Amino acid sequence: MQQAIHFISIILLLFLTGCTNLTDEIELVYIDGGNFIMGSDSDYAEADEMPAHTKQVQSFYLGKYEVSQKIWTKVMKLNPSYFQDDDNPVESVSHNDIQIFLERLNARTGKKYRLPTEAEWEYAAKGGRFQDIVQDNNLTNLNQISWQRENSEEKSHKIGTKVPNILGLYDMIGNVHEWCDDIYSGTNYQGDTVKLTDNGINFVFRGGCFISDKAHCRITNRNYASYTTRNFSLGFRLAHDAE
């Protein structure tokens, strides 16, 4: 009986240690909430980026990096990525796949990780409360801050190897597109019709990727895909409510 209890204790210790290490590997940045101008009315903006409007975002945490293949594999026990490397962002994961990942991750860690909302993503990409002094919204220094068509050799790269934005967030532009937790509805921010495809409801993804040209690396640029879509340019980063 004592041997059985000792064995169970060892297994529990190993499990808890694994949880602690996994939590330590997920680096989050605190984003102080506030109001910001979401979208764009500029000459180069696409129809679904309009109209620019004031949006309020509550304080939250956002992943310092895109979720790596290493972290995904620790939780899911497999690596679906096309460009396989532990330190590269995980990709080829659908919005639905991520919900399963989040359920398992939260069960292991006792946390409540989630995907960022589209507004949270854009607010953070623009620099949060510091957006008025951010100099890279027009992407004049694109090669310094991102992996995209001009410099990526059309493949993903190790996370965190480019210059971060003013909040200390890496790869908000380029490397892989990032799923958000919002359904893409209408043709712009005033639209109210849910966009459906043969595969169901579409969710927003943001940020450009390693095969994006400069026009599609703009912070306000929006994309969408079915919740079942898997693509080698499509990954995500974690968010968490402020506690």
Residue 15 inside a domain? The answer is no
Give the predicted TM-score (pTM) of the model: 0.88
Helix or strand holding residue 13 (H, E): helix 2-25
Q: Using one digit for the tens of pLDDT, what is the confidence trace for 7-52?
A: 444 344 444 444 457 888 999 999 999 999 999 998 888 999 999 9
End-to-end CA distance of the chain: 42
Q: Is the preceding omega at residue 51 within 30 degrees of 0, hence cis?
A: yes
Q: Using one digit for the tens of pLDDT, what is the confidence trace for 193-214?
A: 656 655 668 999 999 999 999 8
With a cut of 70, say whether residue 1 has pLDDT above it. no
Range list of H helices, 77-168: 95-109, 118-125, 142-145
Residue 6 inside a domain? The answer is no
With a cut of 80, say whether residue 110 has pLDDT above it. yes
Q: Using one digit for the tens of pLDDT, what is the confidence trace for 45-76?
A: 899 999 999 999 999 999 999 999 999 999 99
Extract the tokens encoding 89. 């962002």
Structural domain including 121 reads 27-241
How many domains are there within the chain?
A: 1
Residue 2 inside a domain? The answer is no
Residue 101 inside a domain? The answer is yes
The alpha carbon of 135 is separated from its chain's Cα centroid by a whole number of angstroms, namely 22
The CATH number that applies at residue 214 is 3.90.1580.10
Average pLDDT over residues 149-159: 97
3-class DSSP state of 217: helix
3-class DSSP state of 224: strand
Residue 119 neighbours by CB distance under 10 Å: 17
Residue 1 inside a domain? The answer is no
With a cut of 50, say whether residue 6 has pLDDT above it. no
Residue 11 inside a domain? The answer is no
Residue 116 inside a domain? The answer is yes
Residue, of 218 and 133, whose pLDDT is higher: 218
